[in-house]
Amino acid sequence: MERVIQVLDDMVRDDIIEDYVVGGATAVLYFSVPNFITEDIDVFVYLKGKPTSSIIDFSPLYDYVLSKKNASIQGEYIIVEGFPVQFLIPYDNLSKEAFEKAIPVSTPTTRFKIFDLEYSMAIMIQFGKEKYVERLRTLLKHRLFDSKKLDSLLERFNLTSKWLGLKKQLEGV
């Protein structure tokens, strides 16, 4: 993971991306008991320059990692330093706010930002995929989140009723 962060830092330094934040399960694992797995690292990026259309051109990013960082493409992922990475753009108001309010974390050799737990939970609720429901079950079981903060986010992003529906699936938690 630290080698992936170094590549991302290089991409910022070399003006390929403006900034990045680690999201998805990798971010959630920072806060929780690690009893679920993820197949990839979700990296949300702001690309350099403003998009001129609704189509996002990832080719400068792909060209950079493929030619300068010895990465490869495998299905929907780019294999960076041996890790499958999925590059994503913040896609709506919730993910944009999660990006802007990301929190810094440190390892012994690097610093980077991740989505805050409650934002990650709100995004999982937004999509409601089965794997997200299982992750939410784990988080509810261990009570590792701020329920008032989560409720506020869900209300602001019109996800309260969806959450109430998902909670029915999580009976007994």
* pLDDT score of 171 more than 80: no
Q: Is 127 exposed, middle or buried (0-12, 13-18, 19+ CB in 10 A)?
A: exposed
The full set of domains in the chain, from first to last, is: 2-116 (3.30.460), 118-169 (no CATH)
Q: What is the mean pLDDT of residues 101-109?
A: 93
Q: What burial letters (b/e) apply to 3-38, b meaning 16+ CB within 10 Å?
A: ebbbbbeebeeeebbeebbbbbbbbbbbbbeeeeee
| pTM given for the model | 0.90
pLDDT digits (tens, 9 = 90+) for 120-150: 999 999 998 888 888 888 888 888 899 999 9
pLDDT tens digits, 14-73: 999 999 999 998 898 888 766 667 889 999 999 987 665 677 888 999 999 999 998 999
Sign of CA dihedral 170, 40, 25, 156: negative
- Token pair for 28: 């959630």
Determine contact, residues 102/113, Cβ cutoff 8 Å.
yes
Query: What pLDDT is recorded for position 33?
Result: 64
